Structure 1
Amino acid sequence: QGRYLSAEDPRTGATGLLSYNSKHRDLNVKEAWKQGVTGQGVVVSILDDGIEKNHPDLEHNYDPDASYDVNDGDPDPQPRYTQLNDNRHGTRCAGEVAAVANNDICGVGVAYNAKIGGVRMLDGEVTDVVEAQSLSLNPQHIDIYSASWGPEDDGKTVDGPAKLAKEAFLRGVTEGRGGLGSIFVWASGNGGREKDSCNCDGYTNSIFTLSISSTTQCGMVPWYSEACSSTLATTYSSGGSNEKQIITTDLRQKCTDFHTGTSASAPLAAGIIALALEANKNLTWRDMQHLVVRTSNPAHLLTDDWKTNGVGRKVSHSYGYGLLDAAAIVALAQNWTNVGPQQKCVLSMVSEPRNIANHLVISKSVDACQGQPNFVSSLEHAQARLTLSYNRRGNLAIYLISPQGTRSTLLAPRPHDYSSEGFNDWAFMTTHSWDEDPRGEWTLEMENVEGASDYGTSSFHLSVPPDRFECPRLPADPFNSPIYAGAEAGRPLRQKGRASLPPSQSAASLLALQL
């Protein structure tokens, strides 16, 4: 039986509400530790601005084989130090996963016996090449990649992985971990104040990532949190000024109790997933998503958007399937039978573009490719690929209703999005119909929430589960390869501000770290 936390780590109480509390739900981590599961043998890498590998609460678990400096092209992921400690983000995330227990230093990681590495990739221009190299680092050694960054959380950006990063995701889930698939954990985004939607973030909206949202100590939706149908589950993070934030390792061998935002939530999830992987090393990337759906708990999470889907599970655009439960996911993982191969069924819903006007409803009865080798009898992800033009994109609301009656909001109105670009084959994804029978009538609704002055056209097809794309593979060693032909040289700088929020709602805006 592995050790579990004692009082010798002085600040553990606020690390992430790890132990049972009768008044509030918790992550139930101590109960998993009592089962002897502490992350032993599991490797996690933090894709960020570096990791302070000599931090006294990290160095024992530091793994150089899970680390690289993509920004400078060398093996050392040590952060670049500045007067303002701008590059503290990755070190903070790393401590949540694998800070050492029982050493009387700071707090303790959720998977405190896991190995932890870091990829320094945000401290410079973040191009498609940089992302692809980071996502594809040593995939036969690294089990879990944790990322707490993405496009601008400004309520108007629509952006996601480009060609090479898409290839890296696909190669990771098909070839990583000996074919079981790399596990990518992603923070859902901090654009709540800007009315942003994480369905417009192609990283969290991907079937290949396990998207994690936040709740406060009191079980409330944080002011920064984004709601969307691709979020799978939730962990704790910061809330109001009177609520606890996350305690973790900090730059210059220090400790902080001010780690915030959805960036603080994703590493907690990565740690819990590491516990499940120790319990069962044969879990695939899709098995892990099934386990999260089945064991996450909606109890004590307060929001008005809970609904019951077609198989009787509660699900929310704010929280996904609820708060992660470490003991429950470990227990289910131990005797889990692997799911079968993923099937895809692509269905064309309209034969020609349709005028949206104020309200457009498209319905079609589908058989989910019944009678064919790619028949889908039980849903995991459902994806609507949309191409549309519209004179003000932010006025649109888009909903997908499954044959079982589950209504997913694929796009909520975004008042700051004045763009007339529309969407070009954008893959809106929902997890809300997980395990439902996809056969029957699917309905897509588009609504102009501002009135009759807007106009546009739309076409789309439905993919259940989402369509897999065929792409050329990355070179076996991307770090020693020339610049990829056709790669985008100037992708927008990825936003690290997901973890560095002001401590309460009193601040004027989210803080995006400028490098």
Structure 2
Amino acid sequence: MSGGGSVMLLLGAVVTLLVFLDHQVIANTEVMTNQWLVRLHDDLGSDAAKLVAKRNGFSYVSPVLGSHREFVFKHKLVPHARTRRSLPHTRLLKADPLVNAAIQQPGYERSKRGYKQIRGFPIKTDDTSVEAHNNNAKESNLPNDPLYAKQWYINNTGQAGGVPKLDLNVEAAWALGYTGKGVTTAIMDDGVDYMHPDLFNNFDADASYDFSSNDPFPYPRFTDDWFNSHGTRCAGEIAAARDNGICGVGVAYGSKVAGLRMLDQPYMTDLIEANSMGHKPDRVHIYSASWGPTDDGKTVDGPRNATMRAIVKGVNEGRGGLGSIYVWASGDGGPDDDCNCDGYAASMWTISINSATNDGQTAGYDESCSSTLASTFSNGKSGYQDAGVATTDLYGKCTTRHSGTSAAAPEAAGVFALALEANPLLTWRDMQHLTVLTSKRNHLYDPNGEHNWTINGAGIEFNHLFGYGVLDAGDMVDLAKDWKSVPDRWHCTAGTIKGKYEFSTNQSLILTIDTDACKGMENQVNYLEHVQSFITLKSTRRGHVTLYLLSPMNTTSLLLSKREKDDDATDGFTKWPFMTTHAWAENPRGVWRLFAIFDSDTPQDGMLFEWTLMLHGTQKSPYTGQKDIDMQRHSKLGVVKREHESGQNFRF
């Protein structure tokens, strides 16, 4: 496994994480679908599975993640959603001599980001055709696409009230000759209008599939409010064609996009998610997701078993072992939500992307959390015409009103496509390191003054809202082209504290774990990447609990912020994996401190039952081996490289 460390150690962590997530995800009202996971006794293959389905009155759908033993079945006479399990159908399958297990699949909600989560809410769209934008074309050596002048996230000249040069610095990457050629990004969403003239030539049909209808044609389902324009808008941000007189241009206009229609249904299942995230991992390089659990400020949810297996298999085996790259929108729940309660965005196997406005502020709908790695752009300033993201829309049209972190994640996917063209051998972890090292503070700031820019123990600047800053495509491709893959990754269980530890509005809780980071063992960690805190607690009001983690090098991560709408008093958190990227490249050895504090005007009580600290990183410095790189140009790399080579505060 290239750049991946010990496979057995990684799989061990995966099994542990699956147990944690299965404990945590609890549905208030169980909804059962007409899908079954059917596991045969042996690896008998799809022919045997089809035979089992036919003789028991089911429809064979597909294998699960290419398995020869696990398959998806459907039953046409069972409603797509019901509140009771169909026990007779399950018993029928279990009675078949070839079947080892049959599990009816529960359904759950997954929400698009960037859209109002109110049923029937009309979605604003432009009512003009692509031809109506031709009068905006400009004459220059830059793209002459009609909406390019309004694509401030690519070239911010101050349009729509923005700050000049606060953009993705994409033109610098184009100037170096990179357009994303040879890279395919899969849009996991409600479908892609692959007949759109701005997408048609950059659509990868062979990498596409419709998991909602089980056919190869992921075209969006028509609705009066254009609700299913979401995936098409995301696709245009990445791969809209250049200089064709239609709409704007994609960040990686030389790349391909695939459509994976899987989000357009009342209830999601684990098997649909898993097969989407594991679809053709040697053809798809990047998977872009602009959705997640409901952004209502009170949900705690994440990927189920099969989906987590798909993601882990992707980073281990995708792209010929280099690892699939999963880009995730951090969430649109606003300041009353926290993306560390979203098990997708907070996963160390995904790159979580937040958004900023065109004048450098955090958008009003942005969630913040310590797992966010970087930011791109969504809306411009309110009150300005064309302040949204300009991109393709359904039925051959264009829009300048795409928004939310839905718009931010595809922009990041486009930048990553440019980097992969510059260096096709980048691993999934290389991409995360490049993101940390090349993202910029630029003009990003918190208008409320609550989250300032901070320098961690390795000398890298970060922000709780924006991660390590806004992506810089020019610097990323420049650093990527000469990048040497980082050393193998290891994980170390730093310690576990179990008991009954009380805390309240009058008395905060401080727990400590003193670790040597597995020194002297095969899985020793000397330089951090991700840090996970698996926490079990309950309180009289979950949303008023805040959690802070202090590293041995005095970097503070806000693991959980106040969520005013979360009034849970029964479920709490059960071994939930809170994750931080803020200690990146630090030495993990020493005392870690966990603070549990109530942020409440009313009396509250809580009990923390367990805290397990998991450290992920490398034994060798990932940066000292980077030679032939201009350190003055890539100053952030130079800073952390000097820290590591000097040995100051890095006692091994």
Q: Which residue of 2 aligns with 1:183?
A: 325
The match for 1:155 is 297
Is this contact kept in 2: 1:38–1:111, CA < 8 A? yes
State which of 402, 419, 426 in structure 1 corresponds to 2:576.
Answer: 426
Q: Give me the whole-angstrom Cα distance separating, in 1, the residues matched to 2:313 and 2:611.
A: 26
Q: Distance in 1 between matches of 2:492 and 2:399?
A: 48
C-alpha deviation, 1:95, in angstroms: 0.2
**Equivalent position to 1:354, from 492, 496, 501:** 501
Structure 2 Cα separation of the partners of residues 210 and 5 of structure 1 = 33
Distance 1:338 1:242 in 2: 45
Distance in 2, matches of 1:361 and 1:325, equals: 38
Give the TM-score of the pair, scaled to structure 1.
0.88
1:337 Cα offset (Å): 0.8
Distance in 2 (alpha carbons) for counterparts of 1:356 and 1:43: 50
Partner of 1:412: 561
Answer yes or no: is the 8 Å Cα contact 2:326–2:349 preserved in 1: yes
RMSD: 1.4
Q: Aligned residue for 2:440?
A: 297
SS of equivalent to 2:499: coil
Query: What's the secondary structure of 1:408's corresponding residue?
Result: strand
Q: Which residue, 50, 55, 79 being the options, matches 2:196?
A: 55
Q: Which residue of 2 aligns with 1:274?
A: 417
Q: Work out which of the residue numbers 206, 209, 213 in structure 1 matches 2:350.
A: 209
Note if contact 1:356-1:458 (Cα within 8 Å) is conserved in structure 2: no
Displacement of 1:312 after TM fit?
1.7
Q: Does 1:446 align with 2:596?
A: yes
The amino acid that maps onto 2:532 is Q
Q: 1:239 Cα deviation (Å)?
A: 4.0
SS at match of 1:93: helix
* Matching of residue 132 in structure 1 with residue 274 in structure 2: yes
Of the two structures, which has the highest relative contact order with CA contacts closer than 8 Å and spacing of 6 or more?
Answer: 1
How far residue 350 of structure 1 moved from its aligned partner, in angstroms, is: 1.2
Q: Which residue of 2 aligns with 1:497?
A: none
| Conservation of the 8 A alpha-carbon contact between 1:189 and 1:198 | yes
Q: 1:192 aligns with which of 330, 334, 350?
A: 334
Q: Is the 8 A contact 1:143 1:177 kept in 2?
A: yes
Which of 35, 43, 46 is the equivalent residue of 2:187?
46
Letter in 2 for 1:245: G
The structure whose residues are more often helix, as a share, is: 2
1:459 is matched with: 610
Report the CA distance between 1:20 and its aligned residue: 6.3
Gaps of 5+ in 1: 467-515
Shift of 1:308: 1.3
- Aligned equivalent of 1:256: 399
Partner of 2:118: none
List aligned pairs for 1:221-240, cutoff 5 A.
Answer: 221-240=362-381
Give the AA of the match of 1:435.
A
* Mapped partners of 1:5, 1:95: distance in 2: 21
Whichever residue aligns with residue 181 of structure 1, its letter is G
Whichever of the two has the greater Rg, that structure is: 2
Matched, 1:97 2:238: yes
Q: In structure 1, what is the Cα distance between the partners aligned to 2:551 and 2:345?
A: 21
Aligned to 2:312: 170
Match of 1:379 among 518, 528, 531: 528
Give the secondary structure class of the aligned counterpart of 1:273.
Answer: helix
State how far apart, in whole Å, the 1-side matches of 2:549 and 2:511 are. 10
Return 415-424 or 300-309, whichever deviates more. 300-309
Q: Residue 413 of structure 1: SS of its match in structure 2?
A: coil
SS in 1 for 2:313: helix
1:368 to 517, 529, 544: 517
The aligned length equals 462
Contact 2:499 2:608 in 1 (8 A): no
Label 1:250 to 1:20 Cα distance change in 2 as closer, same or farther (>3 A): closer
Structure 2 match to 1:18: 154
Query: Which amino acid in 2 is paired with 1:262?
Result: T
Q: CA deviation at 1:396?
A: 0.3
Counterpart secondary structure, 1:31:
helix
Q: How far, CA to CA, are the matches of 2:204 and 2:153 in structure 1? A: 27
Q: Secondary structure at the residue paired with 2:260?
A: strand
For the Cα contact (< 8 Å) 2:155–2:165, is it kept in 1? no
Deviation digits for residues 52-75 of structure 1 (CA, Å, limit 9, x no counterpart):
011000000000122100001011
Secondary structure class of the residue paired with 1:349? strand
Aligned-partner Cα distance in 2 for 1:234–1:276: 16
Structure 1 residues 16 and 45, CA, compared in 2 at 3 Å: closer, same or farther?
Answer: farther
Separation in structure 1 between the aligned mates of residue 355 and residue 608 of structure 2, nearest angstrom? 35
1:121 to 252, 259, 262: 262
Alignment partners' CA distance in 1, 2:535 and 2:155: 43
Out of 192, 213, 216, which is 1:75 matched to?
216
SS of 1:464's equivalent?
Answer: strand
| Counterpart code for 2:486 | V
Q: Which residue of 1 aligns with 2:121?
A: none
Alignment correspondent of 1:36: 177
Query: Are 2:457 and 1:310 equivalent residues in the alignment?
Result: yes
Asked whether the 8 Å contact 1:5–1:101 carries over to 2, the reply is: no
Instruction: Please point out which of 227, 238, 242 is paired with 1:86.
Output: 227
Find the aligned partners of 2:251 and 2:604 in 1 and give their Cα distance: 52
The residue that corresponds to 1:241 in the other structure is 382
Compute the displacement of 1:411 (Å): 0.2
How far did residue 307 of structure 1 move?
1.2
Paired amino acid for 1:147: A
Decide which moves more: 387-396 or 260-269.
387-396
Matched residue SS, 1:465: strand
Does the CA contact (< 8 Å) of 2:540 and 2:604 recur in 1? no
Report the alpha carbon displacement of residue 111 of structure 1 after superposing the two structures with TM. 0.4
**Once the 2 structures are TM-superposed, how far is the Cα of residue 398 of structure 1 from its aligned partner?**
0.2
